[in-house]
Amino acid sequence: MQEPGLETAQKLGLQENEYHKICEVLGRSPNFTELSIYSVMWSEHCSYKNSILQLKKLPRKGSRLLVEAGEENAGLVDIGDGLACAFKIESHNHPSAIEPYQGAATGVGGIHRDIFTMGARPIAALNSLRFGNPDLQHTKKLIRGVVKGIGNYGNSFGVPTVGGEVYFNDCYNQNILVNAMSAGIVEVGKTVSACADGPGNPVFIVGSATGKDGIHGATFASADLTENSSQDLPAVQVGDPFQEKLLLEASLEAIATGQIVGMQDMGAAGITCSTSEMSAKSGTGMKIWLDKVPTRQQNMQAFEILLSESQERMLIVCRQDGTEELQKVFEKWDLQCVQIGVVTDTGILEYYMHDEKVAEVPAESLVLGGGAPVYERESVRPHYMDKIDEFSPALVLAPDDLIDVAKRLISTPNIASKTWISNQYDRMVRTGTMTSGRPADASIVRIKGTQKAIALTVDCNSGYVHAHPYEGGMIAVAEAARNISCTGALPVAITNCLNFGNPYNPEVYYQFEHALKGMGDACRKFDTPVTGGNVSFYNQSNIHGKIEPVYPTPTIGMLGILDDVAFMTTLDFKNEGDLIFLIGKQNNHIGLSEYLIHIHGIDLAPCPYFNLQEEFDMQSSLRACIQKGFVQSAHDVSEGGIFVSLTESAMCSGIGYQIEIPFEFRNDIFLFGESQGRVIITCKPSNKTELIAFFNSLGIENRFIGTCVGENIQINQSDYGTVQSYKDMYNTVLNHKMQN
């Protein structure tokens, strides 16, 4: 049989120089199975070949981190009391754009497996979703499928979906973004590593049988979506949450036996990825007999078994004397547990099919940090940023009817309630969620048996990152930290999901490079190191007949720690008569905002005002003020500005408010501008003097602007209407769109 050559390699997604490098590594021409192995392992999805040089510039160390970024399946943070939190966020964008239900469902399943393969029990899930124009029938179909997939899998698996975010923009019309996050708790010292130590130790595959779904899924995720991408449906995996629940319980029980040496989820690239990464990490090799792998279809070929991304499967390296005990655990849970190989000391992966060696490759040559290629692409400042530089605030005239503007803004899709989506998720299973009935800026999940809780949030305003990648990257981290701080918790670490266009586009690579620089600078300031995450390139949509990358969307998943739940702070107004303060620097700066986009039709403008040091100081003082017991409620100022922040707090409680706009500020900018580093807080009248003195002593700008009172909204003595009327508008926007 003639050996495949360069043409075959290129069809599999490899570049010419990569093909020649493979030949050099092997000392010969690769066969088709070996080419298939390299094609998935050297894809961007697995190797991060176009991104790793930038990723390495992010802060990856911290006093609370128990493992560095990339060392394990997920980040691991010491949260005190002998406990650690494992957490991670990943994308499932292309599969969800092609088959939204299964794409989203398997994204949820995969991220949970990353958590429990480390020995942690998942206790919370979040998601960050981006869709196109919600008036399009295609978008509505995608929304329904994605939400149903997330809800059905998460609800059946038994982990609450405690929070998330949803944005709409035409740039996501075809290429939606589905980012899933999971967090779990484990005792320090009781985690399992994704390694393959100990030559002679047996290698097991556990869980579901292997099918043809998901073959070349990693390659599929490392290429542009096109009008023909629906033909790649086999690259979309199929999930079974009930099987995953069994796998969770069996895995945690198996870990408790002490017989497991190493374990890894079979995600992208399936058996290929697990065997190569575990072996490379330990400096070992493996002999794998593919014909012993339980399969769902007959006569599967070697490359199909190797590359399948069938869900609910794990690779386990077991102690030689622990085989029987391991198999008993999985038999108890009615799950397959089959030995398919053995660890060797050669550093070589040898794959056999019916006693015939079908592939032989060095493990180190396949993986990130080993022999996988590394590139730094050309970077060019995007041309549209020149138009942003030309923006003049003087052209933005104040509207005559601010009440009409307020009603229009509260009804825009990016601001209005997303309860049509969140109501399809179970938020209370396992009863740890503390922010279901009492909303807060971040989700609070109690650690049972302690007074401690973790605070979780996902954040990114991609419009800001598009406007200025460096500042937008900083703002994404700062807003996540602000949401954590508003609950009274301390931000401690992040995971990120970096969604960008094609890295071979110099303007996209500029966005990527500069957004990461901004993220890194903000993370260093807040002492929130990056624990891991993933990169999703090749996200683009057809906009008015032209292929355009999606807005750069570096989603930040942040973890905070609340040492005492007694200090948990929510966003709802608490009592009539409470005083309203604006904390943080206020100015007449008009930058990119929902107000500018939807009222003035301007979508190319600079980022809102942002100062990293001011943001850090404000958040530190806010947490300290909460600890003193002065704060009744706290809600950050973000999309929609002060008006939306106040009105959301009012709608959650039914208590109205009256405020006066300071004379030195333009009314529309004060109400609807999105300058960063600001929080609306309320306090009891008896604490007013102490609160002002406290912030003044720290040099933090604070303004008394009004009072919680009645059932209406009054601004500068003008009646804007009842809180209930805004709540009716706010709650029905997405419902109405999805029903039509």
Catalytic residue positions, numbered? 45, 92
Cα–Cα distances in angstroms (integers) from residue 415 to residues 173, 418, 634, 647, 738, in the given order: 19, 9, 18, 11, 16
| List of residues 6+ apart from 386 with CB closer than 8 A | none
* Angstrom distance (rounded) from CA 452 to CA 123: 14
| Closest of 162, 171, 174, 91 to residue 426, by C-alpha | 162
Q: What is the sign, positive or negative, of the torsion defined by CA atoms of 498, 500, 505, 507?
A: negative
Scan for tokens 């595959």, then name that residue.
Answer: 205
Q: What is the dihedral of CA 660, 664, 667, 672, to 10 degrees?
A: -100
| Closest of 385, 627, 609, 361 to residue 490, by C-alpha | 627
Token pair listed for 712:
């209406």
531: left (phi over 0), alpha (psi -120 to 50) or beta: alpha
* Angstrom distance (rounded) from CA 74 to CA 88: 5
Cα–Cα distances in angstroms (integers) from residue 483 to residues 44, 252, 335, 479, 619, in the given order: 32, 32, 41, 6, 9
| List of residues 6+ apart from 267 with CB closer than 8 A | 110, 113, 114, 273, 309
The answer to whether 159 touches 55, Cβ cutoff 8 Å, is no
**Residue 253 CA, distance from chain mean position:** 28
The helix (run of H) or strand (run of E) holding residue 359 is strand 356-362
Q: H helices of 552-684, where?
A: 594-600, 612-627, 641-653, 667-672
Phi, psi of 368 (to 5 degrees): -55, 130
| Closest of 223, 237, 231 to residue 267, by C-alpha | 237
∠ CA(474), CA(475), CA(480), 5° rounding? 105
**Residue 362 CA, distance from chain mean position:** 33
The helix (run of H) or strand (run of E) holding residue 88 is strand 83-91
| Closest of 8, 6, 26 to residue 17, by C-alpha | 6
* Angstrom distance (rounded) from CA 486 to CA 442: 8
- Residue 543, Cβ density class (10 Å: 0-12 exposed, 13-18 middle, ≥19 buried): middle
Which residues on neighbouring strands pair with residue 445, listed in sequence order? 433, 454
Residue type, 233: L
The answer to whether 235 touches 216, Cβ cutoff 8 Å, is yes
